[in-house]
Amino acid sequence: TQDGVERPIIDRASLAEMVVPYGDTRPSQTFKHALDSGEFGLGMTANSLTLGCDCIGEIVDLDAVQMLDDGSVMSTKNAICIHEEDFGIGWKHTDMLTGQVEVRRSRRLVVSSISTVGNYEYGFFWYFHLDGSIKLEIKLTGILTTRSHRDGDDLTFARQIAPNVAAPIHQHIFCVRLDMAIDGTNNNVIEVNTAALPQGSDNPHGTAFAATETLLSDEKSAMRNTSSASSRYWKIENSHKTNRLGYPTSYRLLPSSTATMFASADSPHGQRAGFAKHNLWVTPTVQSERYAAGDYPTQKNAGHGLPRYTADNRSITETDVTVWHSFGLTHDVRLEDYPVMPTEYAGFLMVPDGFFERNPAIDVPPSSNGHCH
């Protein structure tokens, strides 16, 4: 809510699926590609969080209630933690002429849960910042999947981590479903790429570069991957709502953990987890299309989920859109990952772009502690 007016950003944000494909070619390993969300259920495997260990500070806990196969109810106490925390400097400036300093501390609202799936732990941390940005950070820890290893064995697809013990190379690829609603449901998705201009009369010194925008008009054109060479990002905008300068209000999706699945599209991994082949998918919002690998990934043939949702190549302009972002990391195991893996991180960031009239954190009051202003 801004100035008493409700301004929606996202109707629903959720983890739609994840896959852990292994790259080892041994018969005992080659089939492994666990769909940890669709097969095990992250709610069913949620931890009961402990104050002072999983969450620190003044917190609100929520229980998670699950429906079991037989129709009974299972409740996990304190499965969700909500709290605020300091997040360093929000903004600062020192006037070089007068020496006057203005600095404001930032805070963020944290909504978190942790699930244990087999030997791995996944922490899901949603951060809501005073500047309007929204971040999902997934924290990966737990114990590696291992196999036996004999001296002299080929280690092309694994790393030795202890005598006679090796851990295969693998990936963790997540897909989030973002039912967008930037100032309403008439949204478009724009791809933004930056490139250097050819040296010439418009660029005599060879220093010019600029960002260009491309409208993604249908589902096929919106199957996109990241590009560090062009600093690629995506923008969701409402062309019917404008800011004080007349530009559409929007939010940027800034990718950071950009791994896509190495397994081929016709492999068992690729057939069941086709969503992991692209970092971006966009569909018209259909409430029954909720899971990136389909409703029942262990009971379906190939091509369900996003490959099937997008088969008709529907229009995605000026409509209620759902943005699906696949991201993750490739785990080429280190000796230091054993016996319990130090936390690794994957996620993405969304930031306002013309959604507000100015820095929304500009009116944060100065800190009452210390002498920092």
251-293 per-position pLDDT tens digit: 999 999 999 999 999 998 989 999 999 999 999 999 999 999 9
Q: Over 90: is that where the pLDDT of 206 sits?
A: yes
Among the listed residues 9, 233, 15, 56, the one whose alpha carbon sits nearest the alpha carbon of residue 138:
15
Which amino acid is present at 174? F
Residue 337 is given by DSSP the state: G
pLDDT digits (tens, 9 = 90+) for 164-198: 999 999 999 999 999 999 999 999 999 999 999 99
Cα 91 from Cα 210, distance rounded (Å)? 27
Given this model, what pLDDT does residue 321 score?
98
Tell me, what's the pLDDT at 373? 52
Using DSSP, state whether 276 is helix, strand or coil. helix
- Please give the pLDDT value at position 36: 87
C-alpha Rg value of the chain to the nearest Å: 23
Mean pLDDT score, 61-82: 94
Q: Does pLDDT of 372 surpass 80?
A: no
Distance of CA 15 to the CA centre of its chain: 8
Residue 145's pLDDT band (cuts 50, 70, 90): very high
Highest averaged pLDDT of the listed ranges 121-125, 292-296, 364-368: 121-125
Least confident range of 8-17, 59-68, 210-219 = 59-68
pLDDT at 369 over 80: no
Cis peptide before 21 (omega within 30 of 0): no
pLDDT band with cut points at 50, 70 and 90 for residue 365: very high
Which band of pLDDT confidence, cut at 50, 70 and 90, is reported for residue 34?
Answer: confident
148 pLDDT above the threshold of 70: yes
Q: Residue 371: what pLDDT?
A: 61
The catalytic site residues sit at 36, 120
Distance CA 309, CA 317 (A): 16
Whether the per-residue pLDDT at 368 is higher than 90: the answer is no
> Does pLDDT of 128 surpass 90?
yes
- Angle at 148 (CA atoms; ends 145, 150), nearest 5 degrees: 145
Q: Residue 129: which of 77, 91, 160 has the closest Cα?
A: 91
Complete domains list, the chain, with CATH:
10-353 (2.70.98.20)
Residues 274, 291: Cα–Cα separation, whole Å:
12
> According to DSSP H, which parts of the chain are helical?
268-272, 306-309
Cβ-proximal residues to 325 (8 Å cutoff; 6+ apart), any chain: 175, 176, 178, 253, 255, 279, 280, 348
300 or 68, greater pLDDT:
68
Least confident of 34-43, 71-80, 109-118, 120-129: 34-43
pLDDT band at 29 (very low <50, low <70, confident <90, very high): confident
pLDDT value of position 42: 92
Per the prediction, the chain carries an average pLDDT of 94
Least Cα distance to 11 among 185, 156, 141 occurs for: 185
Which range, of 91-100, 254-263, 278-287, 360-369, averages the lowest pLDDT?
360-369
